[in-house]
Amino acid sequence: MEYKTLELKTENSISIIKITRSDKLNAVNEDLIWDLQNALAEIQDNSNTKVVILTGEGKGFCAGADLSERNASWESTKDALLRGYKPIFEKIVNLRPPVIASIRGPAAGIGAALALSCDLRVMTKNSYIMSVFSNIALVPDGGLSWLLPRFMGYAKAYEYAIEAKKIEAEECLKWGIANKLVDDENLEKATYDWALNLAKRSSQALQNTKELMRNSLSESYFDTFNNEAEIQNKLVRSSQNIEAVTAFFEKREPNFKD
């Protein structure tokens, strides 16, 4: 499929989505919304993908919604959020493989929500997350009102949202938003190397751990306990489990073929 606003490539079981609106700091217009929906659906249908990287071209991850767009087809803001943006976030959350956000510069507004919806984040030392909405007398959207408090707690999330304060990279590491901080020139390599290492691990461990931990955010301790038991029962004595145990006793790296 051809895309107007992004590039999608898959190699070594890693699918990379790169937003290519660098002249707008990768701000989101309607074309990008449809492209992201379609690219994520394409990845969803690709059983060979073990890890996904989401990144932006140039100096910014995503500066938020493109406020200069004048001819979008949305009937209302609610229509844009529910019909346009929501399917993107649903696909990121429900994708079986883990999704790594590779962040340079700003991840602001809906771009912040996009970054935080991913499973893992690599950030450059000069990058930041920012809920900019209060600057234009609006509330956070894209699920940011749910995402930020889960990382920072209610009081700090509320403070940063209503004052539209940058969460600098070092703070992101402190709050558990960022998994890794790297120098600007090392972002692509560091993210790809991490994805490559993850792709060598058991896909069933990666995928089912994501499912369990995502679901645990809205479930009780013992609901999660029971779900673990069900999934573990299915995975024990699977081909990947047998290969991993065999490799352990043979003191070698496992070679997962499925």
Give the chain's mean pLDDT.
97
The DSSP annotation for 91-108 comes to: HHHH-SS-EEEEE-SEEE
- With 90 as the cut, is the pLDDT of residue 79 above it? yes
> Which residues pair with residue 15 across a beta bridge?
10, 52
Helix, strand or coil, per DSSP, at residue 9: strand
Task: For 120-168, write each residue's pLDDT tens digit.
Answer: 999 999 999 999 999 999 999 999 999 999 999 999 999 999 999 999 9
Q: 3-state SS string over 17-63?
A: EEECCHHHCCCECHHHHHHHHHHHHHHHCCCCCCEEEEEECCCCCEC
- With 90 as the cut, is the pLDDT of residue 116 above it? yes
> Residue 88's pLDDT is what?
98
Q: Which of 114, 87, 84, 88 has its CA nearest to residue 100?
A: 114
Q: Are residues 119 and 245 in the same domain?
A: no
Q: Are residues 92 and 208 in the same domain?
A: no
**Of 199, 214, 232, the domain-final residue:** 199
> Residue 257's pLDDT is what?
81
- Domain span at residue 226 reads 203-249
pLDDT > 90 fraction of the chain, expressed in percent and rounded: 97
Q: Are residues 217 and 121 in the same domain?
A: no
Task: For 167-216, write each residue's pLDDT tens digit.
Answer: 999 999 999 999 999 999 999 999 999 999 999 999 999 999 999 999 99
User: For the chain, how many structural domains are there in total?
Assistant: 2
Q: Are residues 141 and 25 in the same domain?
A: yes
Q: Which of 65, 17, 67, 78 has its CA nearest to residue 42?
A: 17
Q: Are residues 32 and 101 in the same domain?
A: yes
Examine residue 254 and state whether it is found in any structural domain, yes or no. Answer: no
Examine residue 256 and state whether it is found in any structural domain, yes or no. Answer: no
Examine residue 219 and state whether it is found in any structural domain, yes or no. Answer: yes
The DSSP annotation for 141-179 comes to: -TTHHHHHHHHH-HHHHHHHHHTT-EEEHHHHHHHTS-S
